[in-house]
Structure 1
Amino acid sequence: MAIERLYEDDDYVIVNKPYDMYINSDDENERNTVACHIASHDSHLSSSSDPLHFVQRLDYSTSGILCIAKSKSSAARAGRLFEKRLTKKYYLAVVRGHVSFDLADIKYDVGKDLTPENSHRMSAAVDTSSLCGEPRTAHTRLLLLETGFYGGDAVSVVLLKPVTGRRHQLRVHTSAVGHPILGDYTYSDRADITPHRMFLHATRLVLPFQTETLDIQTDEPFFSDHRFTSKWEGGKTLYKYRSKESFVKVCDVIDSSYTVGLKYQEFCLK
Protein backbone atom coordinates (compact mmCIF):
# COMPACT_ATOMS: atom_id res chain seq x y z
CA MET A 1 0.00 0.00 0.00
CA ALA A 2 1.38 3.40 -0.99
CA ILE A 3 1.14 6.10 1.65
CA GLU A 4 0.57 9.64 0.39
CA ARG A 5 3.36 12.03 1.33
CA LEU A 6 1.85 15.45 1.87
CA TYR A 7 5.10 17.29 2.61
CA GLU A 8 8.79 16.49 2.89
CA ASP A 9 12.01 18.39 3.52
CA ASP A 10 15.34 17.64 5.21
CA ASP A 11 13.73 17.63 8.66
CA TYR A 12 10.24 16.18 8.30
CA VAL A 13 8.02 13.92 6.28
CA ILE A 14 4.30 14.47 6.74
CA VAL A 15 2.03 11.70 5.47
CA ASN A 16 -1.65 10.89 5.12
CA LYS A 17 -2.01 7.79 7.30
CA PRO A 18 -4.64 5.27 6.15
CA TYR A 19 -7.23 4.07 8.63
CA ASP A 20 -6.66 0.64 10.24
CA MET A 21 -2.88 0.93 10.18
CA TYR A 22 -0.38 1.03 13.02
CA ILE A 23 2.22 3.78 13.24
CA ASN A 24 4.98 1.33 14.18
CA SER A 25 5.43 -2.04 15.84
CA ASP A 26 8.09 -3.93 17.76
CA ASP A 27 6.94 -7.10 16.00
CA GLU A 28 9.28 -7.54 13.03
CA ASN A 29 6.60 -9.59 11.25
CA GLU A 30 4.03 -6.76 11.43
CA ARG A 31 4.08 -4.99 8.06
CA ASN A 32 0.88 -2.99 8.40
CA THR A 33 2.68 0.08 9.77
CA VAL A 34 3.48 3.58 8.56
CA ALA A 35 7.13 2.99 9.42
CA CYS A 36 7.30 -0.12 7.28
CA HIS A 37 5.66 1.57 4.28
CA ILE A 38 7.81 4.71 4.22
CA ALA A 39 11.11 3.40 5.64
CA SER A 40 11.70 0.08 7.43
CA HIS A 41 9.84 -1.94 10.05
CA ASP A 42 12.35 -0.94 12.75
CA SER A 43 12.72 2.72 11.77
CA HIS A 44 11.16 3.87 15.05
CA LEU A 45 14.09 2.32 16.96
CA SER A 46 17.31 4.23 17.70
CA SER A 47 19.26 1.21 16.49
CA SER A 48 17.71 1.43 13.03
CA SER A 49 19.85 2.28 10.02
CA ASP A 50 17.06 4.62 8.91
CA PRO A 51 15.60 6.06 12.15
CA LEU A 52 12.40 8.08 12.23
CA HIS A 53 10.93 10.00 15.15
CA PHE A 54 7.15 10.13 15.57
CA VAL A 55 6.36 13.47 17.18
CA GLN A 56 2.62 12.78 17.38
CA ARG A 57 0.37 9.73 17.46
CA LEU A 58 -2.76 8.62 15.64
CA ASP A 59 -4.85 5.65 16.74
CA TYR A 60 -4.87 2.52 14.59
CA SER A 61 -8.41 3.31 13.41
CA THR A 62 -7.83 7.03 12.78
CA SER A 63 -6.66 8.30 9.40
CA GLY A 64 -5.03 11.55 8.37
CA ILE A 65 -2.06 13.82 8.88
CA LEU A 66 0.94 12.40 10.72
CA CYS A 67 4.14 14.38 11.24
CA ILE A 68 7.39 12.39 11.39
CA ALA A 69 10.83 13.88 12.11
CA LYS A 70 14.03 12.66 10.48
CA SER A 71 16.35 13.54 13.38
CA LYS A 72 16.27 13.93 17.16
CA SER A 73 16.76 17.69 16.89
CA SER A 74 13.88 18.05 14.43
CA ALA A 75 11.70 15.89 16.67
CA ALA A 76 12.52 18.08 19.67
CA ARG A 77 11.70 21.24 17.73
CA ALA A 78 8.28 19.96 16.67
CA GLY A 79 7.71 18.33 20.04
CA ARG A 80 8.04 21.67 21.79
CA LEU A 81 5.23 23.07 19.63
CA PHE A 82 2.93 20.22 20.64
CA GLU A 83 3.90 20.46 24.32
CA LYS A 84 3.26 24.21 24.41
CA ARG A 85 -0.05 23.77 22.53
CA LEU A 86 1.10 26.04 19.73
CA THR A 87 0.06 23.62 17.01
CA LYS A 88 -3.43 23.63 15.53
CA LYS A 89 -5.05 20.29 14.74
CA TYR A 90 -8.40 19.88 13.02
CA TYR A 91 -10.30 16.62 12.55
CA LEU A 92 -13.38 15.70 10.55
CA ALA A 93 -15.66 13.13 12.14
CA VAL A 94 -19.02 11.56 11.51
CA VAL A 95 -20.80 10.95 14.82
CA ARG A 96 -23.92 9.06 15.74
CA GLY A 97 -27.11 11.09 16.21
CA HIS A 98 -28.13 14.61 15.22
CA VAL A 99 -26.13 17.07 17.29
CA SER A 100 -28.49 19.55 18.97
CA PHE A 101 -25.97 22.41 19.37
CA ASP A 102 -23.92 24.36 16.84
CA LEU A 103 -20.72 24.80 18.82
CA ALA A 104 -19.47 23.23 22.04
CA ASP A 105 -16.50 23.18 24.38
CA ILE A 106 -16.08 19.75 25.94
CA LYS A 107 -13.93 20.04 29.06
CA TYR A 108 -14.30 16.70 30.81
CA ASP A 109 -11.06 15.39 32.30
CA VAL A 110 -9.80 12.21 30.64
CA GLY A 111 -8.14 9.29 32.41
CA LYS A 112 -7.91 5.51 32.47
CA ASP A 113 -11.17 3.56 32.40
CA LEU A 114 -11.16 1.67 35.70
CA THR A 115 -13.85 -0.79 34.62
CA PRO A 116 -12.06 -4.18 34.76
CA GLU A 117 -13.15 -5.33 31.30
CA ASN A 118 -12.09 -2.01 29.71
CA SER A 119 -8.49 -1.72 30.83
CA HIS A 120 -7.31 -0.54 27.41
CA ARG A 121 -9.88 2.26 27.20
CA MET A 122 -9.92 5.81 28.47
CA SER A 123 -12.79 7.46 30.32
CA ALA A 124 -14.24 10.95 30.77
CA ALA A 125 -14.94 12.32 34.24
CA VAL A 126 -18.51 13.43 33.52
CA ASP A 127 -19.54 13.26 37.19
CA THR A 128 -18.11 12.42 40.59
CA SER A 129 -19.02 8.73 40.21
CA SER A 130 -17.10 8.24 36.93
CA LEU A 131 -14.66 5.32 36.97
CA CYS A 132 -11.84 7.52 35.66
CA GLY A 133 -8.34 6.89 36.96
CA GLU A 134 -5.61 9.54 37.04
CA PRO A 135 -7.77 12.10 35.20
CA ARG A 136 -6.02 14.90 33.34
CA THR A 137 -7.42 18.18 32.04
CA ALA A 138 -8.80 17.80 28.53
CA HIS A 139 -10.51 20.21 26.15
CA THR A 140 -12.10 19.66 22.75
CA ARG A 141 -14.03 22.16 20.61
CA LEU A 142 -16.78 20.83 18.36
CA LEU A 143 -18.49 22.59 15.46
CA LEU A 144 -21.53 21.08 13.74
CA LEU A 145 -21.13 21.12 9.95
CA GLU A 146 -23.91 18.94 8.55
CA THR A 147 -26.57 16.44 9.55
CA GLY A 148 -27.80 13.46 7.60
CA PHE A 149 -28.41 9.73 7.70
CA TYR A 150 -26.06 6.77 7.28
CA GLY A 151 -27.81 3.53 6.45
CA GLY A 152 -30.98 5.13 7.74
CA ASP A 153 -29.44 6.11 11.09
CA ALA A 154 -29.14 9.75 12.16
CA VAL A 155 -25.56 11.05 11.99
CA SER A 156 -23.77 14.41 12.03
CA VAL A 157 -20.57 15.60 10.37
CA VAL A 158 -18.54 17.66 12.84
CA LEU A 159 -15.27 19.53 12.99
CA LEU A 160 -13.19 18.69 16.06
CA LYS A 161 -10.32 20.73 17.43
CA PRO A 162 -8.38 19.15 20.31
CA VAL A 163 -6.97 21.92 22.49
CA THR A 164 -5.21 19.30 24.62
CA GLY A 165 -3.83 15.99 23.42
CA ARG A 166 -4.92 13.17 25.69
CA ARG A 167 -5.05 9.55 24.58
CA HIS A 168 -8.30 8.81 22.72
CA GLN A 169 -9.50 12.31 23.66
CA LEU A 170 -11.76 12.97 20.67
CA ARG A 171 -13.32 9.53 20.82
CA VAL A 172 -13.91 9.77 24.57
CA HIS A 173 -15.28 13.32 24.48
CA THR A 174 -17.73 12.76 21.62
CA SER A 175 -18.96 9.59 23.30
CA ALA A 176 -19.30 11.41 26.63
CA VAL A 177 -21.71 13.98 25.12
CA GLY A 178 -23.86 11.26 23.56
CA HIS A 179 -22.43 11.25 20.04
CA PRO A 180 -19.88 8.45 19.60
CA ILE A 181 -17.91 8.41 16.38
CA LEU A 182 -19.46 6.28 13.65
CA GLY A 183 -17.69 2.94 13.45
CA ASP A 184 -15.88 3.28 16.79
CA TYR A 185 -15.86 -0.33 17.92
CA THR A 186 -14.09 0.38 21.21
CA TYR A 187 -16.27 3.22 22.52
CA SER A 188 -19.54 1.70 21.37
CA ASP A 189 -18.95 -1.28 23.66
CA ARG A 190 -18.10 -3.35 20.58
CA ALA A 191 -21.54 -2.73 19.07
CA ASP A 192 -20.82 -0.43 16.10
CA ILE A 193 -19.54 -3.04 13.66
CA THR A 194 -21.51 -2.28 10.48
CA PRO A 195 -19.42 0.64 9.05
CA HIS A 196 -16.27 -0.36 7.18
CA ARG A 197 -14.13 2.09 9.18
CA MET A 198 -14.12 4.51 12.09
CA PHE A 199 -14.99 7.95 10.72
CA LEU A 200 -12.30 10.12 12.30
CA HIS A 201 -9.73 11.86 10.11
CA ALA A 202 -6.95 14.33 10.94
CA THR A 203 -7.59 16.78 8.11
CA ARG A 204 -5.36 19.81 8.85
CA LEU A 205 -2.22 20.45 10.91
CA VAL A 206 -0.59 23.85 11.45
CA LEU A 207 2.99 23.90 12.77
CA PRO A 208 4.22 27.46 13.53
CA PHE A 209 8.00 27.07 13.39
CA GLN A 210 10.11 30.19 13.93
CA THR A 211 11.40 30.19 10.36
CA GLU A 212 8.15 29.23 8.64
CA THR A 213 4.66 27.95 9.34
CA LEU A 214 3.73 24.60 7.85
CA ASP A 215 0.01 24.39 7.07
CA ILE A 216 -0.72 20.88 5.85
CA GLN A 217 -4.12 19.67 4.70
CA THR A 218 -5.61 16.54 3.15
CA ASP A 219 -8.54 16.21 0.81
CA GLU A 220 -11.94 15.61 2.41
CA PRO A 221 -11.84 11.88 3.19
CA PHE A 222 -15.41 10.59 3.53
CA PHE A 223 -17.48 11.83 0.59
CA SER A 224 -14.89 10.57 -1.88
CA ASP A 225 -15.47 7.04 -0.55
CA HIS A 226 -18.28 5.20 -2.35
CA ARG A 227 -18.72 2.85 0.62
CA PHE A 228 -19.78 5.89 2.63
CA THR A 229 -21.73 7.86 0.02
CA SER A 230 -23.74 4.79 -1.01
CA LYS A 231 -25.26 4.79 2.50
CA TRP A 232 -25.44 8.57 2.96
CA GLU A 233 -28.58 10.69 2.80
CA GLY A 234 -28.08 14.42 3.25
CA GLY A 235 -29.99 16.56 5.70
CA LYS A 236 -29.20 20.06 6.91
CA THR A 237 -25.94 21.77 5.93
CA LEU A 238 -24.70 24.53 8.24
CA TYR A 239 -21.28 25.10 6.62
CA LYS A 240 -19.56 24.19 3.40
CA TYR A 241 -16.41 22.23 4.20
CA ARG A 242 -15.68 19.68 1.48
CA SER A 243 -13.17 21.77 -0.50
CA LYS A 244 -9.82 22.74 0.98
CA GLU A 245 -10.70 26.43 0.79
CA SER A 246 -14.04 26.03 2.58
CA PHE A 247 -12.44 23.78 5.19
CA VAL A 248 -10.00 26.55 6.13
CA LYS A 249 -12.98 28.87 6.63
CA VAL A 250 -14.73 26.51 9.07
CA CYS A 251 -11.41 26.19 10.92
CA ASP A 252 -11.54 29.97 11.35
CA VAL A 253 -15.05 29.62 12.80
CA ILE A 254 -14.02 27.04 15.39
CA ASP A 255 -10.95 29.13 16.29
CA SER A 256 -13.10 32.17 17.05
CA SER A 257 -14.52 32.89 20.49
CA TYR A 258 -17.47 34.61 18.79
CA THR A 259 -20.65 32.63 19.52
CA VAL A 260 -23.44 35.15 18.90
CA GLY A 261 -26.07 33.53 16.71
CA LEU A 262 -24.78 30.02 17.43
CA LYS A 263 -26.41 27.55 19.78
CA TYR A 264 -23.51 27.09 22.20
CA GLN A 265 -23.00 24.53 24.93
CA GLU A 266 -20.23 23.85 27.42
CA PHE A 267 -19.72 20.39 28.90
CA CYS A 268 -17.75 20.23 32.14
CA LEU A 269 -17.88 18.70 35.59
CA LYS A 270 -19.81 21.17 37.72
Structure 2
Amino acid sequence: MIVEIIFEDETIVVVNKPNNVLIHNSYYARNIKDATILDVLQNQLGFPLYPVHRLDRKTSGVLLLAKQKENVAIFQELFNSNKIEKTYVGIVRGFVEESKLINSPVKNPDTQVYKNAETLCKPMQKVVLNIPVHPYETSRYSLVELKPATGRMHQLRIHMNKISHPLVGDYKYGDRFHNRMFENEFDCNNLFLHAISLKFQHPITQQKIELTAKLPNDWNFVMKKFGWKSFE
Protein backbone atom coordinates (compact mmCIF):
# COMPACT_ATOMS: atom_id res chain seq x y z
CA MET A 1 0.00 0.00 0.00
CA ILE A 2 1.24 3.47 -0.94
CA VAL A 3 -0.52 6.32 0.86
CA GLU A 4 -1.07 9.55 -1.08
CA ILE A 5 0.70 12.56 0.47
CA ILE A 6 -1.44 15.69 0.06
CA PHE A 7 0.83 18.18 1.81
CA GLU A 8 4.14 18.17 3.66
CA ASP A 9 6.31 20.80 5.34
CA GLU A 10 8.83 20.78 8.19
CA THR A 11 6.16 20.23 10.83
CA ILE A 12 3.29 18.19 9.35
CA VAL A 13 2.34 15.56 6.80
CA VAL A 14 -1.22 15.44 5.48
CA VAL A 15 -2.34 12.24 3.75
CA ASN A 16 -5.38 10.81 2.01
CA LYS A 17 -6.24 7.92 4.33
CA PRO A 18 -7.65 4.84 2.55
CA ASN A 19 -10.79 3.00 3.69
CA ASN A 20 -10.46 0.23 6.26
CA VAL A 21 -7.07 1.21 7.66
CA LEU A 22 -6.58 1.95 11.35
CA ILE A 23 -4.63 5.07 12.28
CA HIS A 24 -3.06 3.27 15.24
CA ASN A 25 -3.71 0.22 17.38
CA SER A 26 -6.32 0.64 20.09
CA TYR A 27 -8.40 -1.32 22.57
CA TYR A 28 -11.50 -0.94 20.38
CA ALA A 29 -9.72 -2.52 17.40
CA ARG A 30 -7.72 -5.09 19.34
CA ASN A 31 -8.81 -7.92 17.03
CA ILE A 32 -7.51 -6.19 13.89
CA LYS A 33 -3.94 -7.19 13.11
CA ASP A 34 -3.44 -5.33 9.82
CA ALA A 35 -0.78 -2.63 9.48
CA THR A 36 -1.88 0.79 10.69
CA ILE A 37 -1.52 4.02 8.75
CA LEU A 38 1.35 4.93 11.08
CA ASP A 39 3.12 1.65 10.23
CA VAL A 40 2.63 2.18 6.49
CA LEU A 41 3.83 5.79 6.57
CA GLN A 42 6.88 4.92 8.70
CA ASN A 43 7.92 2.41 6.01
CA GLN A 44 6.99 4.75 3.17
CA LEU A 45 8.66 7.92 4.49
CA GLY A 46 11.33 6.53 6.80
CA PHE A 47 10.38 8.47 9.92
CA PRO A 48 7.64 8.30 12.57
CA LEU A 49 4.52 10.49 12.55
CA TYR A 50 2.09 11.46 15.30
CA PRO A 51 -1.66 11.79 14.59
CA VAL A 52 -3.25 15.15 15.42
CA HIS A 53 -6.86 13.98 15.04
CA ARG A 54 -8.58 10.73 14.13
CA LEU A 55 -10.74 9.20 11.47
CA ASP A 56 -12.66 5.96 11.93
CA ARG A 57 -11.02 2.92 10.36
CA LYS A 58 -13.76 2.79 7.71
CA THR A 59 -13.63 6.53 6.92
CA SER A 60 -11.33 7.75 4.16
CA GLY A 61 -9.87 11.18 3.49
CA VAL A 62 -7.77 14.02 4.86
CA LEU A 63 -5.66 13.07 7.88
CA LEU A 64 -3.21 15.47 9.55
CA LEU A 65 -0.10 14.11 11.29
CA ALA A 66 2.75 15.90 13.07
CA LYS A 67 6.42 15.17 12.44
CA GLN A 68 7.42 16.14 15.98
CA LYS A 69 5.58 14.83 19.01
CA GLU A 70 5.88 18.20 20.77
CA ASN A 71 3.85 19.86 17.98
CA VAL A 72 0.81 17.59 18.31
CA ALA A 73 -0.82 19.76 20.99
CA ILE A 74 -0.28 22.93 18.94
CA PHE A 75 -2.24 21.49 16.01
CA GLN A 76 -4.81 19.77 18.22
CA GLU A 77 -5.70 23.18 19.61
CA LEU A 78 -7.00 24.11 16.14
CA PHE A 79 -9.56 21.32 16.44
CA ASN A 80 -10.36 22.01 20.10
CA SER A 81 -10.97 25.72 19.48
CA ASN A 82 -12.87 25.26 16.18
CA LYS A 83 -10.17 27.09 14.22
CA ILE A 84 -10.13 24.39 11.57
CA GLU A 85 -12.90 23.76 9.05
CA LYS A 86 -13.56 20.06 8.48
CA THR A 87 -15.75 19.00 5.57
CA TYR A 88 -16.93 15.48 4.83
CA VAL A 89 -19.10 14.02 2.10
CA GLY A 90 -21.38 11.03 2.50
CA ILE A 91 -23.90 8.94 0.59
CA VAL A 92 -27.02 8.34 2.66
CA ARG A 93 -30.33 6.51 2.40
CA GLY A 94 -33.31 8.57 1.29
CA PHE A 95 -33.71 12.18 0.19
CA VAL A 96 -32.24 14.95 2.33
CA GLU A 97 -34.37 17.84 1.11
CA GLU A 98 -32.86 20.77 3.02
CA SER A 99 -29.91 21.72 5.19
CA LYS A 100 -30.19 20.47 8.76
CA LEU A 101 -28.30 21.37 11.92
CA ILE A 102 -28.12 18.18 13.97
CA ASN A 103 -27.54 18.99 17.62
CA SER A 104 -27.72 15.72 19.50
CA PRO A 105 -25.41 14.42 22.27
CA VAL A 106 -23.12 11.46 21.49
CA LYS A 107 -22.02 8.93 24.11
CA ASN A 108 -18.31 8.69 24.90
CA PRO A 109 -17.41 4.95 24.74
CA ASP A 110 -14.83 5.29 27.52
CA THR A 111 -16.85 7.19 30.13
CA GLN A 112 -20.35 6.28 28.86
CA VAL A 113 -21.16 9.98 29.34
CA TYR A 114 -23.06 11.86 26.65
CA LYS A 115 -21.30 14.93 25.25
CA ASN A 116 -22.71 17.71 23.10
CA ALA A 117 -22.21 17.17 19.37
CA GLU A 118 -23.17 19.33 16.41
CA THR A 119 -23.18 18.60 12.68
CA LEU A 120 -24.39 20.67 9.72
CA CYS A 121 -25.79 18.46 6.95
CA LYS A 122 -26.30 19.99 3.49
CA PRO A 123 -27.86 18.15 0.52
CA MET A 124 -25.85 18.14 -2.72
CA GLN A 125 -27.33 15.63 -5.20
CA LYS A 126 -29.93 12.85 -5.16
CA VAL A 127 -31.05 9.87 -7.22
CA VAL A 128 -33.88 7.35 -7.54
CA LEU A 129 -32.82 3.87 -8.67
CA ASN A 130 -35.08 1.24 -10.17
CA ILE A 131 -33.54 -1.28 -7.80
CA PRO A 132 -35.88 -2.60 -5.12
CA VAL A 133 -34.72 -2.42 -1.52
CA HIS A 134 -36.98 -3.87 1.18
CA PRO A 135 -39.73 -2.82 1.64
CA TYR A 136 -39.82 -0.53 -1.46
CA GLU A 137 -39.76 -1.15 -5.22
CA THR A 138 -37.15 1.58 -5.78
CA SER A 139 -34.27 3.00 -3.78
CA ARG A 140 -33.37 6.64 -3.08
CA TYR A 141 -30.02 8.15 -2.09
CA SER A 142 -28.58 11.57 -1.36
CA LEU A 143 -25.07 12.93 -1.58
CA VAL A 144 -24.55 15.20 1.43
CA GLU A 145 -21.91 17.58 2.73
CA LEU A 146 -21.26 17.25 6.47
CA LYS A 147 -19.53 19.84 8.63
CA PRO A 148 -18.98 18.71 12.24
CA ALA A 149 -18.47 21.46 14.81
CA THR A 150 -17.36 18.84 17.36
CA GLY A 151 -15.29 15.66 17.05
CA ARG A 152 -17.05 12.89 18.95
CA MET A 153 -16.37 9.25 18.16
CA HIS A 154 -18.69 8.06 15.34
CA GLN A 155 -20.44 11.45 15.48
CA LEU A 156 -21.36 11.73 11.79
CA ARG A 157 -22.49 8.12 11.58
CA ILE A 158 -24.66 8.48 14.69
CA HIS A 159 -26.08 11.85 13.62
CA MET A 160 -27.08 10.66 10.16
CA ASN A 161 -28.81 7.64 11.66
CA LYS A 162 -30.52 9.99 14.12
CA ILE A 163 -32.26 11.86 11.28
CA SER A 164 -33.16 8.58 9.50
CA HIS A 165 -30.61 9.05 6.71
CA PRO A 166 -27.91 6.53 7.67
CA LEU A 167 -24.68 6.38 5.70
CA VAL A 168 -24.43 3.64 3.10
CA GLY A 169 -21.93 0.97 4.11
CA ASP A 170 -22.33 1.66 7.83
CA TYR A 171 -22.67 -1.80 9.35
CA LYS A 172 -23.12 -0.50 12.90
CA TYR A 173 -25.58 2.39 12.58
CA GLY A 174 -26.82 1.90 9.01
CA ASP A 175 -29.53 0.05 7.09
CA ARG A 176 -28.62 -3.55 6.33
CA PHE A 177 -30.94 -3.76 3.31
CA HIS A 178 -29.31 -0.81 1.55
CA ASN A 179 -25.84 -2.00 2.54
CA ARG A 180 -26.63 -5.38 1.03
CA MET A 181 -27.91 -3.79 -2.19
CA PHE A 182 -24.61 -1.90 -2.65
CA GLU A 183 -22.73 -5.16 -2.09
CA ASN A 184 -24.84 -7.12 -4.58
CA GLU A 185 -25.35 -4.50 -7.30
CA PHE A 186 -22.11 -2.50 -7.14
CA ASP A 187 -19.68 -4.83 -5.33
CA CYS A 188 -19.18 -2.05 -2.74
CA ASN A 189 -19.05 -2.76 0.98
CA ASN A 190 -17.04 0.26 2.15
CA LEU A 191 -18.46 3.04 4.28
CA PHE A 192 -19.40 5.99 2.07
CA LEU A 193 -18.00 8.68 4.34
CA HIS A 194 -15.01 10.69 3.11
CA ALA A 195 -13.16 13.55 4.80
CA ILE A 196 -12.93 15.75 1.71
CA SER A 197 -11.15 18.86 3.02
CA LEU A 198 -9.43 20.73 5.82
CA LYS A 199 -9.01 24.53 5.97
CA PHE A 200 -6.90 26.24 8.64
CA GLN A 201 -4.19 28.76 9.34
CA HIS A 202 -0.91 27.00 10.05
CA PRO A 203 -0.17 27.77 13.73
CA ILE A 204 3.61 27.81 13.17
CA THR A 205 4.11 29.30 9.70
CA GLN A 206 0.82 31.31 9.70
CA GLN A 207 0.23 30.07 6.14
CA LYS A 208 -3.41 29.64 5.08
CA ILE A 209 -3.86 25.96 4.22
CA GLU A 210 -6.70 24.47 2.18
CA LEU A 211 -6.36 20.77 1.44
CA THR A 212 -8.59 18.39 -0.52
CA ALA A 213 -8.50 14.57 -0.64
CA LYS A 214 -9.45 12.79 -3.86
CA LEU A 215 -12.40 10.40 -3.67
CA PRO A 216 -11.74 6.65 -3.45
CA ASN A 217 -12.35 4.51 -6.54
CA ASP A 218 -15.64 3.09 -5.26
CA TRP A 219 -16.98 6.63 -4.88
CA ASN A 220 -16.11 7.48 -8.48
CA PHE A 221 -17.71 4.24 -9.69
CA VAL A 222 -20.97 4.82 -7.78
CA MET A 223 -21.21 8.52 -8.70
CA LYS A 224 -20.88 7.63 -12.37
CA LYS A 225 -23.57 4.95 -11.99
CA PHE A 226 -25.86 7.50 -10.31
CA GLY A 227 -25.19 10.19 -12.93
CA TRP A 228 -23.91 12.58 -10.28
CA LYS A 229 -21.63 15.44 -11.23
CA SER A 230 -18.09 15.43 -9.88
CA PHE A 231 -17.56 18.07 -7.18
CA GLU A 232 -13.83 17.69 -6.53
Shift of 1:50: 4.0
Unaligned runs of 5+ in 1: 44-48, 113-119, 123-131, 245-270
Residue 3 of structure 1 deviates from its aligned partner by 0.6
State the AA in 2 paired with 1:16.
N
Question: In 2, Cα distance between the equivalents of 1:19 and 1:9?
Answer: 25
Secondary structure of the residue that 2:40 maps to in structure 1? Answer: helix
Q: Deviations over 1:40-92 (max 9, x none)?
A: 59x9xxxxx94321111010110000000011232121011111111100001
Secondary structure at the residue paired with 2:125? strand
Aligned-pair CA distance for 1:243: 3.8
Give the whole-Å Cα distance in 2 for the aligned partners of 1:8 and 1:150: 42
Q: CA offsets per residue over residues 91-134 of structure 1, 9 Å max, x none?
A: 010001111x321100011115xxxxxxx7x9xxxxxxxxx941
Correspondence 1:95-106 to 2 at 5 A: 95-99=92-96, 101-106=97-102
Contact 2:91–2:193 (Cα < 8 Å) also in 1: yes
Q: How many angstroms does 1:12 deviate by? A: 0.5
Q: How many residues get paired? A: 212
Counterpart in 1 of 2:134?
none
Preserved CA contact (<8 Å) 2:201 2:207: yes
- Taking the aligned partners of 2:4 and 2:93, their CA distance within structure 1 comes to 29
Whole-Å separation in 1 of the counterparts to 2:25 and 2:148: 26
Q: Shift of residue 190 of structure 1?
A: 5.7
Aligned residue in 2 for 1:233: 226
Indicate which of 189, 209, 228 corresponds to 1:196: 189
- Compared CA separation, residues 157 and 78, structure 1 to 2 (3 A): same
1:185 and 2:171 aligned: yes
Distance 1:88 1:222 in 2: 25
| Aligned equivalent of 2:12 | 12
Is residue 114 of structure 2 the alignment partner of residue 135 of structure 1? yes
TM-score, length basis structure 1: 0.70
AA in 2 matched with 1:155: Y
**Contact 2:169–2:189 under 8 Å retained in 1:** yes
- Aligned match for 1:205, one of 198, 202, 205: 198
Deviation for aligned residue 1:151: 7.4
Distance 1:105 1:52, change over 3 A: same
DSSP-derived class of the 2:107 partner: strand
Matched to 1:86, the amino acid is K
Question: RMSD of aligned C-alpha atoms?
Answer: 2.9
Q: Distance in 1 between matches of 2:93 and 2:121?
A: 14
Of residues 71, 74, 81 in structure 1, which corresponds to 2:68? 71
Matches within 5 A, 1:131-170: 133-149=112-128, 152=131, 153-170=139-156
| Identity across matched positions, percent | 31
Q: Structure 1 residues 6 and 110, CA, compared in 2 at 3 Å: closer, same or farther?
A: same
What are the ranges of 5 or more consecutive residues in structure 2 without an aligned counterpart? 132-138
Change (3 A) 1:67 1:105: same
2:160 counterpart residue number: 174
- With the length of structure 2 as denominator, give the TM-score of the two structures: 0.81
Q: What is the Cα deviation at residue 196 of structure 1? A: 2.2
Amino acid across the alignment from 1:20: N
